Structure 1
Amino acid sequence: MIVYGKNPVLEALRAGKNIEKVLFAHDSHPPHQVVKLCKERGIKLQKVPRQRIEELAGTKKTQGILAILSPVEYVDPHVLFRETLKRNSFFITLDHITDPQNVGNLLRTCEVFGGVGALMPKDRSCPINETVVKASAGAVFYLRLSKVGSLSKALRDFKEMGGWVVVVERGGKDIRSVDFPLGCTLVLGSEGEGVSKSVLETADLLVSIPMQGKVNSLNVSNAGAIAMWEVFKKLLDKHPVDGYNRQC
């Protein structure tokens, strides 16, 4: 959902709406109250070309400011962590994945395979928008989603609570031979940069998917699906019938 114009954006902030980010035109200045509320609520305030705002709003009458509202409610990361540990399941960590189709596909797979939800950074991360909702086939409405300022800090908190951090990246153990610990997160990095160094440093396990063809990489949503299937097989061992009786 898009809200544009100085007063509508300000009122959306005052009303506590779930805002992904606020965009303002590079040739203008956002109102002081907007800046103040964004800072207080940890909402990203981003300078972009005016044309970008007008394209998103579908009009030139934007006053140079626009807010992107999320169709889902985010939860505190500790809610996501506690539920994952309680269910002895997993969640995915999306390390600066910006393509909405990939994010939607990953969330859909996570829900299908019994995952709890996803952890994402506030910066350089795809907003949960209409494209993501559609690509997820509505799975976003059944998942616990959390956005944090620092992935590495949040993952360290998860580990202190008893969780395991499993990074899917090149140079790790063959994924087929790994005995996945339940109560874990699967970390997936962007196709361009992979998993960031600070997040890699939190890893308990580094796993890789063997490949044979001439193309030397997988789309992140495909790699994520393979990794989630491996964890799901462990879940099936724990719950061979109950709750896991659907087939595609």
Structure 2
Amino acid sequence: MNDEMVFGKNPVLELLKSGKPVNKVLFVTEGPGGRNQDIISLLRERSIPYQFVDRQSLDRLTNRERHQGMLAYIAAREYASVEDMLALAEERQEAPFILMLDEIEDPHNLGALLRTVDAVGAHGVIIPKRRSVTLTGTVAKTSAGAVEHVLVARVSNLVQTLQELKKKGCWVSGAEAGGKVAFEADLTGSRVIVIGSEGKGISRLLRENCDELVSLPMRGKVSSLNASVAGSVMLYEVLRQRTDRTTKTSP
């Protein structure tokens, strides 16, 4: 059995009752009023995503072991909330510094970004509940231990979350080709950096809710950078500017 998944009704139910972090639960498709309404109610109560799939999909995922129409993916660690990140910033007496990821699907990209977030001292990472990689074992391994130190929140609506952060005084910079060169932008103060998906970039609604778009200069033949590389450069530019500002204002 893959150590990132549990299958069978009783094992999945016991996992949920234990309070351990869960990324998502898969069910074999059932009609209304199916046998798993008790578990689905528990998932809704804990805001855990779930999905209905055909039986062949679960057969394949479990190597045809007895799954009883149910499989749960275990998270590498507990998820935090956006409020936890703001509280951490307040505890450190720092302006909030948060990374938001729009539908990043490669676990190696998320793991690498968690490592950079820890390195620059940012206060957390926000990912969507749908169409995004979660805190899997691969992410944990790629992060080289950073997953244990970085707050990660999963939210239902990135745009709504962004709007709430703006109300709390955060300025939002979206990393997008054609934007102002990041090295010439003011990235100090309360800041959210938005990085788009590997293929599509930042979605339209999210882009429209950014306060500004910033980009990295490209002098070579390729037109874009890997999401984790671009995100890491952006995060370090924020750190550089914060460090410069602190140095200049120190007595």
Tell me, yes or no, whether TM beats 0.5: yes
Residues 92 and 187, structure 1, Cα contact 8 Å, conserved in 2 = yes
In structure 2, the residue matched to 1:227 is 234
Aligned partner of 1:11 in structure 2 is: 14
Q: CA 1:52 to 1:106, structure 2 compared with 1: closer, same or farther past 3 Å?
A: farther
Task: Assess, with a 3 A threshold, how the Cα gap between structure 1 residues 65 and 238 changes in structure 2: closer, same or farther.
Answer: same
Q: Distance between the aligned counterparts of 1:73 and 1:238, measured in 2?
A: 34
Identify the residue that residue 45 of structure 2 maps to in structure 1. Answer: 40
Per-residue deviation, 1:235: 2.6
Equivalent of residue 201 in structure 1, options 203, 208, 225: 208
* Cα distance change of structure 1 residues 31 and 227 upon mapping to structure 2, 3 Å threshold: same
Q: Does 1:70 align with 2:75?
A: yes
Q: Distance in 1 between matches of 2:234 and 2:214?
A: 9
Equivalent-residue separation in structure 1 for 2:201 and 2:115 (angstroms) = 21
The aligned counterpart of 2:119 is: 112
Task: Identify which of 135, 148, 168 aligns with 2:142.
Answer: 135
Cα 1:69–1:212 shift into 2, 3 Å: same
- Paired residues of 1:84 and 1:184 also in contact (CA < 8 A): no
1:193-235 CA distances to partner (integer Å, 9 max, x unpaired)? Answer: 1111221122112101111222211110111111111101023
* TM-score w.r.t. length of structure 2: 0.88
Rounded Cα–Cα distance in structure 1 between residues aligned with 2:199 and 2:89: 29
Q: Are 2:93 and 1:81 aligned?
A: no
Q: For 1:66 and 1:11, locate their aligned partners in 2 and report how far apart those are by CA, in whole Å.
A: 12
Identity %: 39
State the aligned residue count. 240
TM-score (norm 1): 0.89
1:183 aligns with 190
Q: Deviations over 1:14-35 (max 9, x none)?
A: 3333211101235896611122
Please report the RMSD computed on the Cα atoms of aligned residues, expressed in angstroms: 2.0
Partner of 2:5: 2
What is the rounded CA distance, in whole Å, between the counterparts of 2:179 and 2:54 in structure 1? 41
- For 1:151, the equivalent position in structure 2 comes to 158
* 50-59 vs 129-138, which moves further: 50-59
Please give the secondary structure, in 2, of the residue aligned with 1:140. helix
Do the aligned residues in 2 keep the contact of 1:97 with 1:126 (CA within 8 Å)? yes
For 1:70, give the aligned amino acid: A
Aligned-partner residue type, residue 34 of structure 1: I
